[in-house]
Amino acid sequence: MIITDQQLNQLWTRDSIQSLFDLPLMDLLFQAQTVHRDHHDPNVVQLSSLLSIKTGACPEDCKYCPQSARYKTGLKNERLMPLDQIVAAAQTAKANGAERFCMGAAWRTPKDSDIQQVAEAVQAVKSLGLETCATLGMLNSQQAQQLQDAGLEYYNHNLDTSPEFYGEIITTRTYEDRLETLDNVRSAGMKVCCGGIVGMGESQHDRVGLLETLANLDPYPESVPINNLVKVAGTPLSEIEDINPFDFIRTVAVARITMPKSYVRLSAGREDMNDQMQTLCFLAGANSVFYGDQLLTCNNASVEHDALLFAELGINR
């Protein structure tokens, strides 16, 4: 197998990405696994735990999200969580084996007083020996700098889909807004966690468009979460047709090939995937998962089930 320079550090075009999607599945998986082995230990999966530190009542209209104030999902809204509760959740995550702890808030953009409180939480979580990540909505450059100064290592801010499809999913902000926050995060010196959601009714062309944008960020994100839509009753996408599982696996494989050094995270939606499906995603180059019984507001694959699956596969022995 020859991995061309184009595949290692180049400008990815839509055509070159589309041609990866068009490969026979075995060729695509082999290429993805080859790239994976060149850059990572194939039997190691990074574990990242999530905590919703501020839940629901979000002013944005993201059609997939149970936390938008516009949809009746029966979710209980919660104010910013007190520091001691955040620390307790982080301690549990650490005791379960998590390496990274990501704090998520249902904000369009945080207030400066919110940043102060999150900064304290970052310091406390970091002192437990966990890597810190936060996802708080749009940040200006000053807010990004304050978080970086507090020791925040990663910021999650997803592009979610292609630029063309974005307006079908969210109307309260633009793709440009997202790119601007990503730029502020980078300029402040933090690492970027940025990926998307598949299964929202997008075409393969949109998945190509998402990966093209991600792979051409300079540098490309250190972490790339690939979420399978969790269909929550009450959200506009609750009845959308399931994505073909092989299309999901292909998306993971192409993310791996186009962003060789990244942690590609098999993210939301694992609860509904069987073990064989998850295994194919690991073969396709996924080497990180959200770990813990809960995502932000939805259930995740359980810690207990993950322990059994990883033992079966010889992962993280």
CB of 156 vs ligand DTB, minimal distance in Å: 5
Q: Binding string, 115-144, against ligand SAM, x = CB under 6 A?
A: --------------------x-x-------
- 74, amino acid identity: G
Contact characters 266-305, ligand SAM, x per CB under 6 A: --x---------------------------x---------
80 binds, among ligand SAM, ligand DTB, ligand SF4, none (CB under 5 to 8 A by kind): none
Binding partner at 297 among ligand SF4, ligand SAM, ligand DTB, none, C-beta below 5 to 8 Å by kind: ligand DTB
Q: Is 104 in the site for ligand DTB (CB under 6 A)?
A: yes
Q: Under 8 Å CB-to-CB from 24, ≥6 apart: which residues?
A: none
Q: Which residues, 40 to 59, sit near ligand SF4 by CB under 6 A? A: 58
Token pair belonging to 313: 């596969």
What are the Cα distances from residue 145, in Å, to 46, 107, 136, 148? 27, 18, 14, 5
Confirm if 29 and 257 have CB atoms less than 8 A apart. Answer: no
Identify the active-site residue in 207, 256, 265, 270. 265
Kindly write out the interface string for residues 121-140 of this chain, putting x where it contacts ligand SF4 by CB under 6 A and - elsewhere.
----------------x---
Answer whether 160's CB lies under 8 Å from 199's CB.
no
Residue of 133, 178, 194, 256 with catalytic role: 133
Binding status of residue 135 toward ligand DTB by CB under 6 A = yes
For residue 207, report the phi and psi dihedrals to the nearest 5 degrees: -65, -40
Find out whether 123 and 151 touch, Cβ atoms under 8 Å.
Answer: yes
CB 121 within 8 A of CB 88: no
Q: Report helix, strand or coil for 306.
A: helix
Tokens standing for 27? 């060729």
Q: By three-state DSSP, how is residue 73 classified?
A: coil
Residues 31-90 that bind ligand DTB (CB under 6 A): 50, 66
Identify which of residues 194 and 280 has a Cβ nearer to ligand SF4 in the complex. 194
Nearest to 18 by CA among 256, 302, 209: 209
Given the complex with ligand DTB, which of 43 and 85 has the nearer CB atom?
A: 85
Active site residues: 58, 62, 65, 102, 133, 193, 265
Residues that bind ligand SF4 (CB under 6 A): 58, 60, 62, 65, 67-68, 106, 108, 137
